[in-house]
Amino acid sequence: MQVQRFRLTPTSRGALFRAKRWFYSTFYTKAPPEVKEENKKAWVSLASKIIQELNKRNASDRPARLTINYNVGPRGEFKPISATIELMEIKPIETFTVTVE
């Protein structure tokens, strides 16, 4: 099993966009023509499940990190196993004022 972990992004939509760019550059453009459509179907299925879960939680505008666990078939097939979405919260730790005299 291989793992692709993406950087923290300001929105979960941005995390999915990064994952989409990674998928197309890794598994679509370099794949033989007979595998391309199979890979695309696997990606669309995974992406739609991620979007459904994000929509359930109303989290499309929250900071997130995405991790995808997958296998690669002998012909370069993309076989997703799971996706982990870490939703974050950005809040101030401490607020203070510095005055200049």
Whether 93 maps to a domain, the answer reads no
Q: What is the pLDDT of residues 53-92, one digit of tens each?
A: 999 999 989 999 999 999 999 999 999 999 999 999 887 7
The confidence score (pLDDT) of residue 58 equals 93
Domain that holds residue 66: 2-87
Q: Where are the alpha helices (DSSP H) in 24-86?
A: 33-56
Whether 98 maps to a domain, the answer reads no
Whether 20 maps to a domain, the answer reads yes
Instruction: Report the C-alpha gap between 8 and 64 in whole angstroms.
Output: 6
pTM of the model: 0.84
Whether 10 maps to a domain, the answer reads yes
pLDDT classification of 5: cutoffs 50, 70, 90: very high
Cβ burial, residue 64 (10 Å; 0-12/13-18/19+): buried
Contacts of residue 93, Cβ cutoff 8 Å, sequence gap at least 6:
none
Instruction: Report the C-alpha gap between 58 and 56 in whole angstroms.
Output: 6
Q: What is the pLDDT of residues 31-58, one digit of tens each?
A: 888 899 999 999 999 999 999 999 999 9
Whether 39 maps to a domain, the answer reads yes
- Please count the structural domains in the chain: 1
Whether 101 maps to a domain, the answer reads no
The confidence score (pLDDT) of residue 19 equals 97
